[in-house]
Structure 1
Amino acid sequence: MSLPQRERTVHFYELHLASRTTAAVTNPSCAPLGPLLSCFSSMILSKGLPHNVRKSTNLHTVLADWRYDAANNCYILLINKANAALSDVALRDLPTTRLRKAGKTKTEGIEVSAHIVLRPNNGNRTASVLLTMGAGVSAADIEFLLNALSRDAAKDPQHKKLFYFDDPSGAVGPDGLSNQYKVSYIFAAHAHKGQTLTAALETGEFESMDLIAHDQGQFDAGGNLQIVERSLSVKAAIPETVTGAAVINAVRSFRKQPDGQMYDKLRVRYKTIAGKSTSATLDLDHLDAAFTLKERIEFDTDVEAQQDSLSPTIVDGLVPLLQSVPT
């Protein structure tokens, strides 16, 4: 498995923190997300890297690197996933035309790396997450890692203040100290749907759009070639003047025409606040609905698909994207 050497696609998520307890407490207290991540960081670095995230017959996921960026108040992670099920690269000898596999054994997996940025947000219960795609690492892997680290931290007495809180009844024990109850934490990542078409074109710049019709029909006489999609491409004479409202109004007006009724999706391409081209596909019936943020970052030098430590090139492209989401 390989990734483009000069670019990465980045998806945005929002990490949610929740607490729970077995005690008779209706609304259990919750430690701020920042101190919890700081706790996990010190724990990970003291044990050493790489750190196993999870392992199965064909997959092995490890945390290969973990750093704190004080200037941007964010944690930057490198998660590697090795997949034994991925097919080995084939090599052909050109003079003899003989074909052979490159040599991966059945117990070896092709490893690819994903870079992740975690930034605690205001309010102490959420964090913005940026994840480079294409390595097979998902938001579920981040959830699994943080939930596992939380369980490990809870077992260590030095982290007690993050997991034990005074009983809201105010009851005290024989020693005169407040009775306490223990909480556990759940981390859940959700796709960041914090941007609408209007907001995207307010901070970025329209490039083009395609109206898409999912139409099925026969393309050739024999019926072997089938039409599955039709599209209508639209560009602007002055792209910087196009607003979300202008697009929404124009699309609604076009769909009232006989030849516009067949279209049901809109793929809009635009430059983000960081000046990078990206796209979003929206339902024409819900053009003002929020959609998942994603970005594409480009590099001046080649970056390999696998790293043992954080790549400064990728990190330098990732961290500025934090400005795209509010704290």
Structure 2
Amino acid sequence: MQYSSEVEAADALRAAYRQIRGEIGKVIIGQDEVIKYVLISIFSNGHCLLVGVPGLAKTLLVQTVAQVLDLDFKRIQFTPDLMPTDIIGAEILGEDRNFKFIPGPVFSNIILADEINRTPPKTQAALLEAMQEKAVTAAGLTHKLAKPFFVLATQNPIEQEGTYPLPEAQLDRFMFNVALSYPSFKEELQVVKNTTGTSSADVKKVLNAEQIVYFQQLVRNIPVADNVLEYAVKLVAKTRPGSEFATPQVKRLLNWGAGPRASQFLVLGAKCHAVLNGKYSPDIEDVQAVAKPILSHRIVRSYHAEAEGLSANDIIEQLY
């Protein structure tokens, strides 16, 4: 795959993005913001956490994305008895009396970690190395994962009995934390029409693994003006109560702010958002467009914020 310039490659990525949205739209009705963030995560080489009640097509979405992008897909149902070896694999004694490694479901391009907070921290941590290093270690040997590698995890926000909240270290590995909402009346009507008959959508493949890896590198190569970089880093610094940029309001409403990984994801997300919207370099509006799902799971609200009914997104809006 060769393009005469990065501008031509960026145009090709934008055209592919529109085509991907069209193909996904044959199966998934509505959820435009969710689809946008999932695709930005993939092209930014990040991971995405989806929070929503059951029945909002989270599993169908990732299956459709994997189909359109021609990627291997594995679904892992997280349960209290799930073990780390059930995710990364294990060494077994073969017939030749030698140990050999049997890869687990994590050895795929797209992993759906369904209800990730249903399993204990020991098993949740099995994904940490895979998500950060794109590799897993078993019996002292490191095994590289396929490229691209993307984790889409889901959480159910209403049924919290028997759950293990994700620790901050694990949450920080996710580029985006996206909340799914109920469909509108018209969207739900269309969903019911499409899913209660005998016809099924014919989804076409748009990209393959090699092209996705190329576009991931393209996104990293996009130039960013100094003022945009400074804005992104300052926006993250404003979330930290002890920072020189923190306002009295932030010091009252937040107990803890976002770390440096948030700044990195803000810049990467802004780069990708700019390209997908016809620009060749991000501006401050692109940073703001991806700020809420990047920062919302990285800040800890104080009891003042909770008492006043302010969500993480409400506080982030005050920082722009």
Which range, TM-score by smaller chain? under 0.3
Q: Which has the higher strand share?
A: 1
Please identify which structure carries the higher helix content.
2
Return the TM-score normalized by structure 2.
Answer: 0.25
